Amino acid sequence: MLLVVAGIALFVEKFVHSDFKILLFSFYVLFAMFGTFYMSYSIAKSVVEPLDRIEKKTGEINAGDFGSELTLSDIRELADLASSINLMSTRLKNQFVDLTIEKEKFDSVLQNLKEGVFAIDPENASILFQNKSVPGSLIEPNSRSRKVTDATRDSRLLEFVLNHLKGSSDSKMELDLGQNFYTIKMYPLKTNGKILMYIGVIRNITEEKQSHIIREQFVQNASHELKTPITSIKGYTETLLDRLRLSPESHEKRFLDAISRNTDRMVRIVEDMLTITRIENQTKISSEEEFSLKSLVENLSYTVEGVVSSKGQKFVVEMPNPLMISADWILLEHMLLNLISNASSYSSEGKTITLKILPIKSDQVQFQVIDQGIGIQDEDKIRIFERFFRVDKNRSRKEGGTIFSVTIPTRYQTETS
């Protein structure tokens, strides 16, 4: 443009009057400046407008608005950039839709769970989420974003949650509301070692509690009702054996001996049932006393002598001497007798049964009953403390062990721990 103006100026200089020449030259200079400005503006506009649209579009995407696509510019580089942004927007839109669908599914599952589920923000102790199964007697409905101190109606639950937020390791509690019973568990949800939230799960165990109470009442009533006739059968059997003086080889003698053995077993079952009921119905061992373990062991040795000697077995005691403990003598003796009797039943003739007593702390004593029996498979070990569970039912009946032999020691240990 400047070259054109310069050429025109040379032409004018030769053929035009000097004053007019100056005026004409000024006009052409202004024309050149205007043309340069117009061309610069057009070029800048062709670049800036697409960039403005791109900036606006990225802002919309950032706000979650994936509306219309960008118009492609005539400039190849800007067209490539706009095309990439359109592709990114489409992918983000599809991912957002997928995430929304998954979130709705997850929320639907949570809302329809039988268990109550709620989430707590550890930063400000506010409720992030609660489903409709959370009992209103524990947490007020629709309490999202409210402080847990304001939304929680039960003081025991509030104390449990606040202690958990402070780092308590006790992750489970049970609540008795009179007519209803609940268990509450708290789980931390972590990412990269940081706790994002605490998840609480509330489970209604009212039916289980009621069923348990009914079972316990039935066991207790049945035990008392069975004890009298079983005792009578035992007495009649012993009378017949004593008076008839039957030959050891006779069928009648074998039949009466079988009746006597099974009656003894039924007596032990009934006594075990009553013992379990007594242990479970009391909240605290009330007959605790201080005594020497040596005296208890002497009584045990005398009591089990007949059991182990009938199979040619040996009963060995390993304990420090002297050793004083504070416990319920009767229940502790019953627990050890059950374990020793069980060990004898499942050990063959001539084996050794060992009772080992070890002080493990200044205020704790450990009892170990060690036999040389048939052992227990690994898959059965986790169930041996379940009531009525047998590893080998046929062998159990043959050996004469009762179904409560392990349950009683477990119950007693739980009550005294």
7, two tokens: 């050429």
pTM > 0.75: yes or no: no
Cα–Cα dist 190/196, whole Å: 6
Residue intervals of the chain classified under CATH 3.30.450.20 are 113-204
Query: What is the enclosing helix (H) or strand (E) of 186?
Result: strand 181-191
Q: Give span(s): CATH 3.30.565.10, the chain.
A: 289-417
Alpha carbon distance, N-terminus to C-terminus of the chain = 102
In sequence order, the 6+-apart residues with CB closer than 8 A to the CB of 257 are: 241
SS3 181: strand
Coil, strand or helix at 344: helix
Q: Which CATH number fits domain 206-281: 3.40.190.10, 3.30.1330.40, 2.60.200.20, 1.10.287.130?
A: 1.10.287.130
pLDDT of residue 127: 92
What is the rounded CA–CA span in Å between residue 134 and residue 3? 86
Tell me yes or no: is domain 289-417 CATH 3.20.10.10: no
**pLDDT in tens for each of the 417 residues of the chain?**
545 445 555 555 555 455 566 766 677 677 667 767 666 656 665 666 666 676 676 767 666 676 677 666 656 666 777 777 778 777 877 887 888 788 777 777 777 788 899 999 988 899 988 888 889 889 999 888 899 999 999 999 999 999 888 887 777 888 888 889 999 999 888 888 888 899 999 999 988 888 878 877 887 787 778 888 888 888 888 888 888 877 878 888 888 888 888 888 788 778 777 777 766 665 444 567 888 888 888 888 888 887 788 888 889 988 887 788 888 787 788 788 888 888 888 888 888 989 888 887 777 888 888 888 777 777 776 666 665 556 654 544 444 444 444 454 555 554 444
**Contact criterion met (CB below 8 Å) for 404 and 341:** no
- Residue 152 corresponds to which tokens in the numbers above? 């929680």
Q: Tokens 């054996």 belong to which residue?
A: 241
Q: E strands, 276-370, where?
A: 289-292, 314-318, 324-327, 352-361, 364-370
Helices (H), 122-205: 148-151, 155-165
The residues, any chain, with a CB within 8 Å of residue 219's CB and separated by 6 or more, are 273, 276, 277
Residues of CATH 1.10.287.130 domain(s) within the chain? Answer: 206-281
CATH dotted code for 113-204: 3.30.450.20
SS3 category, 145: coil
Residue in the structure block whose two tokens are 């020497």:
292
Q: What is the pLDDT of residue 417?
A: 46
For the chain, counts of helices (H) and of strands (E): 12, 10
CB 313 within 8 A of CB 352: yes
9 Cβ contact partners less than 8 Å away, ≥ 6 residues apart = 25, 28
The letter for the amino acid at 47 is V
